[in-house]
Structure formats: structure tokens, C-alpha cells
């Protein structure tokens, strides 16, 4: 049963929030030994939150919009009384969080029920969730394959049917990559749209937070619940709530929709190109579009990521480098050693780049691109062939997401199922101008209603 059906059943009294919660707990206990999505289970808290929803229903009080919906969060979100690991070994030594992250607080206020924290790449530096400390998260559609990252646990938990909603972070693609490889819906909002207070940072200049879910409705409801200014988070620029849920019924008539070519065609496999073309045909795309300076944007994103990420962990890199994730410690160290001039030039380029991207959206409303160049590689894969070019596998998975998040644009990821991937998904990105999440979700809703974008149950 999809999230929207669960919410309606709870509101009608056909089932209770406690029954839904217990079913989710049973599903986690049945599947997670194989999937490895969870690093912390908050089942006692979840049962108490579900019972509170049922008590409100028994008193005939109005229920909030997410009443009784189970969810889980990437383990860089603070959960009261739980240590925020951020995928690391080092953070085990930190005290437990004294309060929930702001977005967790807002979901709780909306009636959602928190079941735990989810696996990720250490300190969010990766696209695969091959975590050495906590084990790799496995793709529910083929347990030999990666779930993507760095929000791999968030994608896998939805794809495995453990919870219908999760929260992740996206710096260079960490919501969209696991959404694509696990076959879930995802939303990376505009940079600065949602409060980041109470989350462990990766790259202050680039970090976004957002939901992954089993349907477009789940994304829209969660997104609307989490919106709102936060005066204690100077990076939260959203001064006004812009509800997306009412926009879902509007369709895409009148929207100028295009498919990205050039860089996004050249760095995609044939199945990835096919899903973008099919999405374009379904949405009535009217042309091929060139995204400005995509390759340069990816290079600049790498420089800023390494520099800020390395600086954040400088003391531990000096004193205990052996305790870092072996797959990413070299990248953190390289960031520490980068000249400051490189970082400053990358930031100056970013300002120019965003202006060029915003000019592009004066002509287009929604742009389409594959979310990943390939479907999920096997765990341990070191190299990929993308467009006839041999690329290092772990960074190459984010080839098509980094240029978009570097501009701060909102993106909905839609799960699609092309031929030629052995039954594995590849998602598409539905991209709009900053602050126009409603357009991304309207396009996503059309793909969902058409049937070409959808979840499939865990098969492994």
C-alpha cells in the first residue's frame, strides 16, 4: 500500500497508526539483514509516536497531513538521544543529540513516525554507500549491486518496502543517485529551501536536504511539511512557504519542456538516454537543450567539495587518518592540500554559472536528463565504461547530477525501468528554475500517472 493510501486508511480509521508502524517494523526485521539500510532503530519511539496519532484519532481531533506515516532519516540527521554518526567511526565518540534536527521536528509535528537512522557514505563523501565501518548498503533489486549514495540507506529502505518515506542529503547528487539506482522517487529542493539545522554538514556551500519516497504524493506532502523559514539557520533562504501538493493536479500543459543533450547525452549509456527520451516524449518535450558549462561546473563542484570537506575534518585528518573511510580519506586529504586560489576561483565561477543557468530558464520551464549514466554497478566495481570512456566508478556515478546541484536548482528524480539493464532502474532528473519545486513535481506526477515511472517491489 502506497503512502497516500496508508494516510487515507489511517484517517478513515480502517487501520491504526500502530498497526502500520508494527508492519513497518516487521518488514525491517525481515529484510534488513540482507539490505543493511539501517544503522539505528528507534522502534520504541516509533510506537509511542504512532500511539499518539491513534489517541488523537480516538478523541476525534483533526489529524496532521502525515499522521501515522513511517519514515527514517539518513544518519547525519540529529535524532534526540541518538549519536549522529554521519557514517563515520570517529563520530561514535560524540555525545547523543539533545534534540531532533529541524526537519525531523517538522515531520513529527506533521504526524510522521520515525523508525530510525540510515546507512550512508562516511561524512557523505561518496556515491555508493560502500561503508567500511557499517557495511555496504545493498540494492534491493540485486543484492550484489550498490544502492547509490551517499544517501544509500535512504534509497534502499524505500525500495525494500521498509518505510515509504526517508530523508537524505544531496551535495553533488546524493538524493538523486540512490533514487535512480534503487528505483525510488526523490526531491532535491532549491539550495537554501529547507533548514539544515541539526544535521552534520559535508559542504556548507552545496549541501541540500530533501525526501525520497514511494510516490510523488509522498515527496510533496513531506516537502510541504518541512518548509518554512528558520532564523537560526542563516543558510535557509526560504522566507515564504510555497505549497507544492496543490500543484500536482495541474499537469504540464503550457509548460516549455526540453531534454538536455550535449554533456548529458555524451556521458550517458544507451539505457540512460532511453529513459530521458521516453520521459521527454511523455511530457511533450519540444526541443533539445544545451546546459551551459556542465563539465566546468562538475570540476568546480569537485574543488569546492574537497576543499570545504577537508577543512571541516582537518584536525582528525592530522591526528587519526587511519580512522577514516579508506574509500574517501584520500579525497579529504587532497582537499586540505588544494591551493586556496583554486577554491576561490571555483566560487567565483559558480556565481557566473548560476547566472547562465537562470538565463536558460527564461526560455524553459522543465528540463529532463538521466540521473545516472548507468544502472547500479556491482559492489566493489572500480571502473565504468561511459560513452566509450573508462572512468573511475565511484565518482562517475555522479557525472550527471553534479552540474545541476552546483547551480542550486530543484530536481525531482523519477524511477524508470529501461531495457538493457537486467531489470535494474535508471531515474530521470526533472529540473526547474530555483524556487520552482512545484514544476518538478507536476512533471513527476504526469510520469507517475502515465505508468512509465513507478516503484517495483524488492525482488532479491
Catalytic residues: 74, 150, 174
| Residue (of 164, 156, 222) closest to 193 by Cα position | 222
Which residue's entry shows cell 497508526? 17
Q: How many helices (H) and strands (E) does the chain have?
A: 16, 17
Contacts of 365 (CB under 8 A, 6+ apart): 255, 256, 257, 432, 433, 436, 439
CA-CA distances (angstroms) from residue 71 to 43, 322, 373, 378, 396?
11, 34, 29, 27, 30
3-state DSSP call for residue 270? helix
| Residue (of 355, 372, 360, 370) closest to 432 by Cα position | 360
Which ranges in 284-436 belong to alpha helices (H)? 294-312, 314-319, 329-337, 340-360, 393-396, 402-406
d(C-alpha 3, C-alpha 336), whole Å: 44
| Residue (of 432, 398, 434, 435) closest to 412 by Cα position | 432
Q: 134, 119 in Cβ contact below 8 A?
A: yes
Measured at the CA of 400, the angle between CA 244 and CA 158, to 5 degrees, comes to 55
- What is the DSSP pairing of strand 165-170 with strand 142-146? unpaired
**Cα 389 to the center of its chain, rounded Å:** 27
- What is the DSSP pairing of strand 366-370 with strand 257-260? parallel
Query: The C-alpha cell of 248 is what?
Result: 500536482
3-state DSSP call for residue 332? helix
Q: 160, 183 in Cβ contact below 8 A?
A: no
Query: The C-alpha cell of 349 is what?
Result: 565561477
d(C-alpha 170, C-alpha 149), whole Å: 9
Consecutive H or E run containing 118: strand 113-118
CA-CA distances (angstroms) from residue 68 to 11, 158, 162, 202, 408?
9, 16, 14, 31, 32
**Cα 250 to the center of its chain, rounded Å:** 25
Amino acid at each position: 500500500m502506497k503512502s497516500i493510501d496508508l494516510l487515507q486508511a489511517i484517517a478513515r480509521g480502517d487501520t491504526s497508526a500502530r498497526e502500520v508502524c508494527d508492519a513497518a517494523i516487521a518488514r525491517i526485521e525481515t529484510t534488513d539483514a540482507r539490505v543493511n539500510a539501517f544503522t539505528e532503530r528507534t522502534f520504541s519511539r516509533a510506537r509511542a509516536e504512532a500511539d499518539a496519532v491513534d489517541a488523537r484519532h480516538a478523541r476525534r481531533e483533526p489529524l496532521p497531513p502525515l499522521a501515522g506515516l513511517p519514515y527514517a532519516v539518513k544518519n547525519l540527521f540529529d535524532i534526540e538521544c541518538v549519536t549522529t554518526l554521519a557514517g563515520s567511526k570517529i563520530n561514535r565518540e560524540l555525545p547523543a543529540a539533545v534534540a531532533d534536527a529541524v526537519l525531523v521536528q517538522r515531520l513529527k509535528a506533521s504526524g510522521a513516525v520515525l523508525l530510525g537512522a540510515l546507512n550512508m557514505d562516511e561524512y557523505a563523501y561518496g556515491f555508493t554507500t560502500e561503508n567500511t565501518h557499517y557495511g555496504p548498503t545493498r540494492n534491493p533489486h540485486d543484492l550484489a549491486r550498490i544502492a547509490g549514495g551517499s544517501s544509500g540507506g535512504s534509497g534502499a529502505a524505500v525500495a525494500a518496502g521498509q518505510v515509504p518515506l526517508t530523508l537524505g542529503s544531496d551535495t553533488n547528487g546524493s538524493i538523486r543517485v540512490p533514487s535512480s539506482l534503487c528505483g525510488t522517487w526523490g526531491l532535491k529542493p532549491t539550495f537554501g529551501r529547507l533548514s539544515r539545522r541539526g544535521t552534520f554538514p559535508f559542504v556548507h556551500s552545496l549541501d541540500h536536504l530533501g525526501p525520497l519516497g514511494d510516490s510523488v504524493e509522498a515527496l510533496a506532502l513531506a516537502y510541504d511539511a518541512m518548509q518554512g523559514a528558520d532564523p537560526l539557520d542563516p543558510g535557509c533562504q526560504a522566507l515564504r512557504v510555497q505549497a507544492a501538493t496543490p500543484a500536482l493536479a495541474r499537469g504540464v500543459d503550457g509548460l516549455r519542456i526540453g531534454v538536455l543533450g550535449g554533456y548529458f547525452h555524451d556521458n550517458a549509456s544507451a539505457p540512460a538516454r532511453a529513459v530521458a527520451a521516453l520521459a521527454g516524449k511523455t511530457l511533450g518535450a519540444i526541443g533539445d537543450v544545451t546546459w551551459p558549462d556542465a563539465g566546468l561546473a562538475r570540476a568546480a563542484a569537485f574543488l569546492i567539495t574537497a576543499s570545504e570537506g577537508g577543512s571541516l575534518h582537518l584536525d582528525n585528518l592530522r591526528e587519526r587518518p587511519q580512522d577514516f573511510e579508506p574509500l574517501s580519506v584520500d579525497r579529504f586529504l587532497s582537499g586540505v592540500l588544494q591551493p586556496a586560489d583554486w577554491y576561490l576561483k571555483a566560487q567565483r565561477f559558480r556565481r557566473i554559472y548560476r547566472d547562465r543557468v537562470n538565463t536558460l530558464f527564461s526560455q524553459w520551464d522543465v528540463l529532463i536528463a538521466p540521473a545516472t549514466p548507468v544502472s547500479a554497478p556491482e559492489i566493489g566495481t572500480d571502473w565504468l565504461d561511459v560513452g566509450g570512456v573508462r572512468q573511475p566508478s565511484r565518482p562517475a556515478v555522479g557525472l550527471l547530477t553534479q552540474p545541476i546541484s552546483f547551480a542550486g536548482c530543484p530536481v525531482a528524480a523519477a524511477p524508470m525501468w529501461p531495457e538493457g539493464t537486467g531489470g535494474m532502474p535508471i531515474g530521470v532528473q526533472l529540473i526547474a528554475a530555483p524556487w520552482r519545486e512545484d514544476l518538478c513535481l507536476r512533471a513527476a506526477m504526469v510520469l507517475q500517472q502515465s505508468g512509465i515511472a513507478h516503484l517495483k517491489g524488492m525482488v532479491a
